[in-house]
Structure 1
Amino acid sequence: MNFVSKLTTLAVVLHLASGLSIQPRQDGEPRVVGLQLHRSEIRDPVANDRNRMRKRAGTVTGTLDNLQTLYFLNASLGTPPQNVRLHVDTGSSDLWVNTPSSQLCSRRKKPCAESLTYSANASSTYQYVGSYFNISYVDGSGAAGDYVTDTMRFSGVNITSFQFGVGYESTSQQNVLGIGYPSNEVQVVRAGRKAYQNLPAKMAAQGLTASTSFSLWLNDLDSTTGNILFGGIDTNRIASKLVSVPIQKVGNTYNQFFITMTSLDVGSTNIKKNMALAVLLDSGSSLTYLPDSLVETIYQSVGASYQESSGAAFVRCDLENQNATMTFNFSSPASITVPLREMILDLSDPNGEPLTFDDGVPACVFGIAPAGTSSSVLGDTFLRSAYVVYDTDNNEISLANAKFNVTKSNIVEIKSKSAVPSATKASNPVAATAGLPGGNGSGTGNKQKQNNAASSRVPSLITAVACVGIGFLL
């Protein structure tokens, strides 16, 4: 049984933010590209994230459903410019786009119409690189085609000879902009070739930014705007002290944004301590995924009911009115406090009608799900409450609580190889001993026990969702 519904989702339409306050540099103009985020809708983020998360066979191997939010960048590729919408993903490293001649995009219902496509033959600046672009999914689906170079444009920024993949064969209508480590690119992992300069690296190489670092501020669940900054931070959007923690190597390589989570509090109660769990910071995942046994304890604390067939847990919507919090702790003193209301996602059918449990109580999706045998992921339900700096030059993540709904900016450049401005390093960083790909598992639990609290109401709810949503499967 598939859990499908029309859910409001955030999308990122990135353009240069107006009214930015840039701190002056002594050696010339500041090299920071600041971009603003806006809201959009998609119908089936659950199926979308199920496929997206499967592409990283060495990292996330299970079925991880995604609810509520996706983030996009509007850009153009080629000469003359061909507009494309790109799903911004910190969990992967390649930009890849669909082409109009693919079997998927040629379908009568035009599934690629919203994200748009790129035609190499229509661009005078296109250059062929090689036919070894191949992203594979666990279920056998994926995207394959060519690596090419062409001109990329967004918000007045021109990036020449930029390498990306073209999916001549594809099963996903979403174009993807991966901004992770170049060492995690398909041509490195799959083809055994040297890394190329992906977007953060290429912007630094062309002098558009002073470093490959970038910062992410998604704003709260109800907001219509947020920001991503390449090469800088915005101090006005930071509510607490920035603390830098080390990124964990996978094997002997820095290739994904894993950091170590040490404990978790719900309200004033510590429900798990003395952990050394690797967690992946992933803007491409709308939900947060943690070890099953830990999730079971969380569900008991908030009265959530897990439905395995849908991959989601449900809570009473009025839970969002409680002034409660969850605190995610990392190497001291790094911690992020998430208001519980940021974990409560509204649920509606394709007609926009709210769904209820069988006793008439409005039902919402809870923003944490079990990771099963896959890696733990801190997705958008966590990231919205955090200001996160991805410092790939120094292999560190700097974390602070986010300040919501800020309208004025104060942007500071991150210089090459320099520490993140105003950040303090964790005094005794903890190395992950569990949860890394290829290492110890993330922990499992008895999923039958997760159907607590409102479990008698779940079958009625799931049946309703399946009935109203099945017509929207692609």
Structure 2
Amino acid sequence: MKGLATFAASAGLLWACSEGLTLSQRTNASPKVVGFPVVRKSVPNPLKRDQLRRRSGTVQATLDNEETLYFANATLGTPAQTVRLHIDTGSSDLWVNTATSDLCTAKGKACTAAGTYSANDSSTYSYIASDFNITYVDGSGASGDYVTDNFTLGSTTLKTLQFGIGYTSSSAEGILGIGYQLNEVQVQRAGKSAYLNLPAQLVSDGLISSNAYSLWLNDLDASTGSILFGGVDTDQFQGTLATLPIQSESGGQYGEFLLTLTGLSLGDTVIAKDQAQAVLMDSGSSLTYLPDAMAEAIYDQVSAQYDSQEGAAYIPCSMASNSTTVGFTFSSPTIQVSMDELVIEISSSSGKPLTFSDGERACLFGIAPAGSSTPVLGDTFIRSAYLVYDLANNEISIAQTNFNATSNNVVEITTGTAAVPSATVVQNPVTATAGATNEAMAGTVTLGAGGTATATSKAKSGAKITMPPMKLTALAVSLGMLYAAM
């Protein structure tokens, strides 16, 4: 069973320290890779946080009103101004708050922990345009200027890196988006050409050979995790990396990390087979969101109770010690996710455990229904997988993670096809079809006296979900949900 964890993580050949980020520039005799540590904070409300990520347009980014997840410490400008940035594979822009933004001034010290950026205080700042703007379905967002300035990670500085300044914002944390350039706000909103975001700039400056990076979140209870640009750490996964094509979007373009989920199992029980379901690999999503029928089938097997009002499922906490795993199949490779990665402790605002009506302790389950949204494999899945995002070749290589690896063997990702070391291309991979139409689920789990949850039907209903299924409202807030994820 996993509780709240706050940890510092190391990346590649680098080890984390409490003082902040370290980034290593490799010598000519070493693999050309760039790694940096990430620090994970607690998220008291993962479902609400995920709901805020669902934006109303084609630009995907993270705007958290809660505490952020994984972040890195960096500096911007001359002299250096320290900022803390939420690392997000699901977005493509780096943006930061300014101390004079509505959020930072209205809430006093809301932006103090993450830091802010002042263009007027930097001698290397250069203005580009006032067309940085992201809007979310709940009305939140960020807007301001696109600028360039020096960006430093550890001892390595990228000159004139483009980023956004949020003069109006709903997030106290800045964002370090490392997705496809096609997904940049400048492209999607302003209709302009793409610019060099961080991964592309690392290639352009010769710090890495290819626009690719590996992600290892490690066990939820672990003290280490890593993001490695331009390289793979073969000690952090088991077996062989299996390379799968990223699914293109309309017009054959690539904007998001979509893979094809072909099967789902729970132990020896087949939940779904012969599927062609596009799923988004999103490290910025706390939970995993599956097509409703798949989620409901798993709930039936593990005695989870679903509350449609909260978009959350509750499960007996004792299931954390169950040896059954959930298997996610992608044409050929299957990633097994253990129950203790899916069972999340929660408690009432008074600190008392949440229980079902029969007195058994209740936990939050790390799988939720996707409803009408694109299914997402978030942190409750990704922690069990080692992922290599190869943006240059539009591929993702995947393997079962090696939790708590104690050694490192970093190998450079080179240029050209088959550039990812220790990877085998999956033959005849299934191509995703249009997302399945989900029949909405219904059911309630309500609090009784003393923090007791009374569960009712999990049956499907003809009624349509009218809110994003990951929304967690006043009930979960009052329960004091605590959860750490990227």
Give the shorter-chain TM-score range. Answer: 0.7 to 0.9
**In structure 2, C-alpha distance between the alignment counterparts of 1:16 and 1:372, rounded to whole Å:** 37
Equivalent position of 1:438 in the other structure: none
Residue type matched to 2:41 in 1?
A: S
The answer as to whether partners of 2:60 and 2:91 remain within 8 angstroms in 1 is no
Report the Cα offset of residue 37 of structure 1. 3.5
May I ask how many residue pairs the two structures share in their alignment? 449
AA partner of residue 394 (structure 2): N
Distance 1:209 1:64, change over 3 A: closer
Q: Which has the higher mean CA deviation after the structures are superposed, 442-451 or 381-390?
A: 442-451
Structure 1: which 5+ residue stretches go unaligned? Answer: 1-6, 436-441
Q: What residue number does 2:388 align with? A: 389
Give the letter for the 2:427 counterpart. S
Q: Which residue identity is paired with 1:129?
A: I
Residue deviations 1:341-373, cap 9 Å, x none?
111111134565543334432221111111111
Residue 8 (structure 1) shift = 2.9
**Structure 1: how far apart are the matches of 2:83 and 2:286?**
22
Describe the shift of the 1:170–1:14 C-alpha distance in structure 2 as closer, same or farther (beyond 3 A). farther
Mapped contact 2:324–2:339 kept (Cα < 8 A): yes
Distance 1:191 1:431 in 2: 31
* 1:301 aligned partner, one-letter code: Q
- Name the CA distance, whole Å, in 2 between partners of 1:272 and 1:133: 42
Show the 5 A alignment for 1:319-358.
Answer: 319-332=319-332, 334-349=333-348, 353-358=352-357
Shift of 1:216: 0.2
**How far did residue 76 of structure 1 move?**
1.4
Alpha-carbon contact 2:42-2:67 (below 8 Å) kept: no
1:16/1:155 contact within 8 Å kept: no
Structure 1 residues 254 and 35, CA gap change in structure 2 (3 angstroms): same
Contact 1:296 1:445 in 2 (8 A): no
2:78, 2:150 within 8 Å by CA — same for their partners in 1? Answer: yes
User: What's the offset of the Cα at 1:211?
Assistant: 1.1
For 2:107 and 2:455, locate their aligned partners in 1 and report how far apart those are by CA, in whole Å. 36
Aligned AA for 2:454? R
- Is 2:31 the counterpart of 1:35? no
Superposition deviation, residue 311 in structure 1: 2.0
Match of 1:299 in 2: 299
Equivalent position amino acid for 1:8 in 2? L
> Paired residue for 1:363?
362
Distance 1:294 1:364 in 2: 20
Shift of 1:340: 1.6
Distance in 2 between the 1:286 and 1:469 partners? Answer: 16
Matched, 1:49 2:54: no
Are 1:445 and 2:446 an aligned pair? no
Alignment partner, residue 8 of structure 1: 4
Alignment partners' CA distance in 2, 1:85 and 1:331: 38
Given that 1:46 and 1:65 are in contact with CA atoms closer than 8 Å, whether structure 2 keeps it comes out as no
The 8 Å contact of residues 49 and 66 in structure 1, kept in 2 or not, is answered as no
Contact 1:261 1:279 in 2 (8 A): yes
2:276 partner amino acid: A
Q: Write the deviation string for residues 405-432 of structure 1: whole angstroms up to 9, x where unpaired.
A: 0121100000122421110101111111
Query: Which residue identity is paired with 1:50?
Result: Q
Deviates more, 1:340-349 or 1:259-268: 340-349
Mapped partners of 2:75, 2:335: distance in 1: 36
Gaps of 5+ in 2: 17-25, 447-451, 457-472, 482-486
Cα separation, 1, equivalents of 2:204 and 2:358: 59
Give the counterpart letter for 1:433 in structure 2: T
> Which deviates more from structure 2 when the two are superposed, residues 233-242 or residues 76-85?
76-85
RMSD over aligned CA atoms reads 3.1
1:96–1:177: 8 Å Cα contact kept in structure 2? yes
Is the CA contact 1:11–1:72 (under 8 Å) kept in the aligned structure 2? no
Alpha-carbon distance in 2 for matches of 1:331, 1:457? 40
CA shift, 1:450, in A, is 8.4
Q: What amino acid is the match of 1:396?
A: E
The alignment partner of 1:116 has SS state of coil
Q: Does the alignment pair 1:111 with 2:95?
A: no
The answer (yes or no) to whether the contact 1:46–1:66 under 8 Å persists in 2 is no
2:454 aligned to which of 436, 443, 457: 457
SS at match of 1:104: helix
Is 1:129–2:128 an aligned residue pair? yes
Q: CA deviation at 1:36?
A: 3.0
Q: Structure 1 residues 173 and 65, CA, compared in 2 at 3 Å: closer, same or farther?
A: closer
Q: Is the 8 A contact 1:133 1:144 kept in 2?
A: yes
